[in-house]
Structure 1
């Protein structure tokens, strides 16, 4: 009888312990997070470039962790994987040829000294020839009463457009209108056959022409549709280039306005009206194409509510990085520890914590996406081809490059000002003894520059959290951010070292956990604020 009594006692003790654990807030484990980061940022993975063996190892590691946590596969064919097909294009560096012709002269520009161009994912042999038209910024924004194509005929011509956007545009809305996709769309809709972008004083300060030369050998990627053709491209645009200031001056040498006059106008907050240029262009280049594949990894923790379990709170983090540096002599591996082994590791630890708690009412969908570094492509593919019903994704909490080097006392939530997720973030921060800070860099429009924005474009309210600038110690969080961006961002030095603060990692995990848990348990699904531009533009489309 004693063994039976002992067994009953042990069983009772275990049940009691599990009950207590299930009802209390589980704590993030710093050593687990560290172990994930150290593996994902190891030299073995060779920088986790999209389509590489190293990234494939990372995706298998993530799937293995999901399996051990008992999560349900949410990929294709009963697996954790959603295979994303890509066309990868490389520019033949010796191939670009560009000649400008006018009544005054014929001028051959030098690549890459005078202009830059990237590989075409549409044409292996790209060629455009025709007249040129200046079209301001190339922006059409009826919501802002702006149309650079008003009264312009660009049919069958190459448009010349300023980089960026007018200074008076709202930052985040302006980033949408100034995106390459929007500019390409409006040019193609009006019959343009090519695009030449020119720098501005503002753009040159942010990203000097010389710094762009570091990316000459970078391939272009586009996801493919079911017929094997690239998506989100405009085949009508046969070729494109980015001109240096010196080259751009040639375009306007005998035009109604000189380049300096255009620059003076935009510095005063004006956008010059477009006009025909007395110049024609003949421009060709060659690209090589290959098909590659890379995986998103997705898993579900089913919800407990009979109805709400059919809705999903999505956690996302990108698992890829940029691979091997071609211009570095010694350590060439871009390990991507902070970008984004940290975010992926927080995703995995958040998933583990959810399995230690009572199931939330809504289901939780965890997605480690590929090809963020290639233009948010993996997130875009998943958001457009979700493995759950698209209208069932009620919110996205994105985890991208948290700078985990200091004990932070506040958090910044990009996107929180657009929906009532702001309340979830503020409440979660307060529970952790943190405050919710304002966006310190509104001019950079970070809300549009990470994976969550692909969910926004499908109408899903989203937030993207980073540690704030109020820090314990002598240095501010902004100092840490600037040091990382200046010294380590997209460099081999972004690797695990003694500067990591693993307690900051646990705090960051727990605040993100609380955000998602509150969304999953509330009665109403999150909603865009009334009149919000992104809600009006993308929700219900």
Structure 2
């Protein structure tokens, strides 16, 4: 998220990220075949853990994806780098294995606004309803990070576990669910953006491209820095631009709990404009929000080498995916477009 980071009362504008050193698993560059829960295996319908009972995903599966995306092998996933190319192949294989089709001729959407060759990875699960399938919901996250930086204690890789391997993993697991279940009436586009850290360039490129193609976009739901839980809140996650639509109310209705709340800091620092939801808001004027569990107090490694998997809460991440599934099912299958822009 192109958000604000502050220390000792000084407020600075930044992009996203943070990390720390940990032993990581290594998977082949072409995809996660070497990882437990490999995409080349049949995905189990339900796995259970003590923290995410009777859920679609669990902490082990989430951890396997994270341990690849935030591994040292990917060197911080800087846009245009060999590391992000490895991540792109991994996501492509994941989509293919779980029946998420390419949105364009291939999964790769080459950026037109960034000098180094970079790709968004874009897939689609077509809706099942003859009429509603022509309405699209875009579910996104950025999969790039800042690469290598000045070393701290000999570590120079900004692995970007929370920022934003966490959001990427969330989108990948949601894509796996809908790719295998095929129970969505509206069409779902799953987009992983490159060059967010360069100024939201990947999402800006895709938003303009889809607008030029006259896409009938209903809503854009983005996921950013979801790797650690909020503390001392009576809700599970907040959305940016809370007052811009009734998404929180709709989400909570389908979640059957107070899942989505309002974070005053998000409004104070205008986080609505600092992540990949914003270009779609600008181009389409539709409900476009980011779900996030980073609140400036619960994670201290933004754009540092300390943003590593050992600090991530995989049970929390699995729980979030499992909580989001009925929300997305409800939004995708409702007879009418329930999310409405708030009139001011």
Checking the alignment, whether the CA contact within 8 Å between 2:102 and 2:123 is kept in structure 1 is: yes
Question: What is the CA-CA distance between 1:506 and the residue it aligns to?
Answer: 1.4
Following superposition of structure 1 onto structure 2, how do residues 50-129 of structure 1 map, counting pairs within 5 Å?
50-75=79-104, 78-85=105-112
Please give the alpha-carbon distance, in whole angstroms, between the structure 1 residues aligned to 2:200 and 2:216.
Answer: 21
2: CA distance, partners of 1:335 / 1:358: 33
Looking at structure 2, the residues matched to 80 and 347 of structure 1 have their Cα atoms a distance apart, in angstroms, of: 15
Between Structure 1 and Structure 2, the one with more strand by share is: 1
Query: 1:446 is matched with which residue: 271, 277, 296?
Result: 271
Deviation at 1:328, TM superposition (A): 4.3
Conserved? CA contact 1:73–1:299, under 8 Å: yes
**Contact 1:383/1:390 (8 A) holds in 2:** no
Once residues 308 and 348 of structure 1 are traced to their aligned partners in structure 2, the CA distance between those partners, rounded to angstroms, is 23
Matches within 5 A, 1:508-519: 508-519=320-331
In the TM superposition, residue 333 of structure 1 has moved relative to its aligned partner by 0.3
Name the stretch that deviates more: 363-372 or 378-387.
Answer: 378-387
Distance verdict in 2 for CA 1:351–1:511, change over 3 Å: same
Write the mapping of 1:208-247 to structure 2, written as runs, cut at 5 A: 223=113
> Does the C-alpha gap of structure 1 residues 336 and 395 become closer, same or farther in structure 2, counting only changes over 3 Å?
same
| Residue 490 of structure 1 pairs with residue 303 of structure 2 | yes
Shift in CA distance, 46/420, structure 1 to aligned 2, threshold 3 Å: same
Query: Structure 1 409/514 Cα, relative in aligned 2: closer, same or farther at 3 Å?
Result: farther
Q: Deviation of residue 27 (structure 1)?
A: 2.1
Give RMSD over aligned pairs. 2.4
Structure 1 residues 71-470: aligned runs within 5 Å: 71-75=100-104, 78-85=105-112, 223=113, 291-326=115-150, 328=152, 330-386=154-210, 389-405=213-229, 410=235, 411-429=237-255, 431=256, 433-441=257-265, 442-458=267-283, 459-467=285-293
Inter-partner Cα distance in structure 1 for 2:223 and 2:325: 11
Contact 2:125 2:182 in 1 (8 A): no
Cα 1:406–1:423 change in 2 (3 A) is closer
Change (3 A) 1:390 1:38: farther
Q: Displacement, 1:420?
A: 3.1
Which structure has the greater CA radius of gyration? Answer: 1
* Pairwise CA distance, 1:387: 9.0
Indicate the SS of the match to 2:220. Answer: strand
Measure the CA separation in 1 of the matches of 2:343 and 2:234: 32
- Structure 2 gaps, min length 5: 1-43, 46-53
Question: What is the alpha-carbon distance in structure 2 between the residues aligned to residue 467 and residue 446 of structure 1?
Answer: 12
Give 3-state SS (helix, strand or coil) of 1:482's partner: coil
Q: Is the 8 A contact 1:397 1:516 kept in 2?
A: no
Residue 388 of structure 1, CA deviation: 9.3
- TM-score normalised by L of structure 1: 0.50
TM-score, normalisation: structure 2 = 0.77
> CA separation in 1, counterparts of 2:253 and 2:239?
12
* Cross-structure match for 1:254: none
Deviates further, 499-508 or 305-314? 499-508
Alpha-carbon displacement from aligned partner over 1:121-147 (angstroms, at most 9, x marks no partner): xxxxxxxxxxxxxxxxxxxxxxxxxxx
Instruction: Give the unaligned 5+ runs of structure 1.
Output: 1-16, 19-24, 86-222, 225-290, 469-477, 533-541
Distance 1:514 1:29, change over 3 A: same
**Number of residue-to-residue matches in the alignment:** 289
Structure 2 residue 69 is the aligned partner of structure 1 residue 40: yes
Which residue of the partner structure matches residue 228 of structure 1?
none
Q: What is the alpha-carbon distance in structure 2 between the residues aligned to residue 74 and residue 307 of structure 1?
A: 19
Give the equivalent residue in structure 2 for 1:152.
Answer: none
| CA distance in structure 1 between the aligned counterparts of 2:322 and 2:208, rounded to whole angstroms | 29
Task: Indicate conservation of the 8 Å contact 1:32/1:349, yes or no.
Answer: no
Evaluate the alpha carbon distance shift between residue 530 and residue 318 of structure 1 in structure 2; reply closer, same or farther with a 3 A threshold.
Answer: closer
Cα shift at 1:355: 3.0
Distance, in Å, in 2 between the alignment partners of 1:515 and 1:463 is 14
4+ residue runs over 4 A deviation? 405-409
Q: Contact between 2:140 and 2:221, CA under 8 Å: does it hold in 1?
A: yes
Cα offset for 1:437?
Answer: 2.2
Higher RCO, 1 vs 2 (CA within 8 Å, ≥6 residues apart) = 2
